[in-house]
Amino acid sequence: MKNIAVIGAGTMGNGIAHTFAQSGYKVQLVDISQESLDRGMNTISKNLDRMVAKERITAIEKQQTLDNITTFTNLEEGVEYAGLVVEAATENVDLKLKIFESLDEATGDDCILATNTSSISITQIAAVTRRPELVIGMHFMNPVPIMKLVEIIRGYSTSDATTQTIMELSEKLGKVPVEVNDYPGFVANRILMPMINEAIETLYNGVAGVYEIDTVMKLGMAHPMGPLQLADFIGLDVCLSILEVMYEGFKNPKYAPCPLLVNMVRAGKYGVKSGEGFYDYKESRKADKVAAMFS
C-alpha cells in the first residue's frame, strides 16, 4: 500500500497528506478546487519550513515530502491507483455519503476506504458502498503532523483484516492508533465536545469571561489550551456539527449545542480560520501564531 489518496485539501486533508508523504508514501491529494489545492500545498510547505527551522527535518527531506504529493481536481484520476483513500471533506453527512458512493465506483475492489470524520457513523457511510468490510474510520487529530493519536473506528461490518491493516499503517506513520466502536462522537469528541459546550454555556450564562474560563482550565486542570481557545482552533462550525450529530444520535439534551455557539456560527465567526471566534485573530497575525504553536 504505497499509493494513498486524500480527499479534501483543507486543514485536516493537507495535514494527512503531509503526514503520509513525509513517511515516504506517494500521495494523491484531491479537491474540486484548484485554489484549495494550491492553498493546501502552501500550508504543507510552510509547515515543513518550520520543521526545517527547528532542525526536525532537513531541506532535502522537505523537498522529498513535497515531491511525494501530486494534486488532482478530478476524483477518478486521483484515486485510480490508490490502495487506501482517506476522505477528509467537510463534516457533512450528505456530502460524505456522495463522496463514498463515488469512491466505491472509482477505486479498485480491494481499496480500503477510510473517513476522517470526527462524529458521523462509519456504518452509515459504509452502507452506501458495496464493500462495507473495507470501510473504516481513521480520525486524525489536528494538527495532524504533530498529534500522535489516531482513533480507528470500526463500523458494524468492518473486517478484522481491514482494522489490522489500518492499525499497522498508523504505527508506520509514527502515530498511536486506538481502536474504538462506532457510536456518535466515538471517544474523543464524546468527551471533549460536552466540555467545550459547557464552557460556552458558562460564558453564555455570564459566570465568567473568555479569558477567565480558559485560564481556570489551563492553570487549574493543566490543559495546554483552554476549551474556548481550543474550540476556535477546531472551528466553531465543526464543533456545532459534531454536537448536532451527537444530539441526533443519542437524543440526550446534554449534547444540545449552546445557543451562543449556534449564533456565532450563523454570524460566520468560526474561530481561527475566519479570523474571529471567542478570540480575535485578525490583529498581529494571531492566527499564524496559534498555528506555529503546534508546528
Which positions make up the binding site for NAD(+)? 8-13, 31, 91, 96, 118, 142, 273
Q: Cα separation of 201 and 165, whole Å? A: 41
**DSSP three-state, residue 178:** strand
Region of 142 please: left (phi>0), alpha (psi -120 to 50) or beta. Answer: beta
Active site residue 189: yes
The cell numbers describing 114, all together, are 477510510
Active site residue 252: no
Peptide bond into 143 cis (omega under 30): yes
- Say what the alpha-carbon torsion angle 112, 113, 117, 119 is, to the nearest 10 degrees: -80
Determine which one of 36, 68, 121, 139 is catalytic: 139
Residues shown for the chain: 295
Determine which one of 87, 151, 244, 276 is catalytic: 151
Determine which one of 189, 197, 241, 274 is catalytic: 189
CB 262, CB 255: distance < 8 Å: no
Determine which one of 3, 36, 118, 274 is catalytic: 118
Give rounded-to-5 percent helix, strand, coil for the chain: 55, 15, 30
Residues making up the annotated binding site are 8-13, 31, 91, 96, 118, 142, 273
Active site residue 151: yes
Active site residue 179: no
| Half-sphere exposure of residue 176: CA atoms within 13 angstroms, side-chain side | 4
HEC readout, 48-113: HHHHHHCCCCCHHHHHHHHHCEEEECCHHHHHCCCCEEEECCCCCHHHHHHHHHHHHHHCCCCCEE
Q: Among all residues, which ones are annotated catalytic?
A: 118, 139, 151, 189
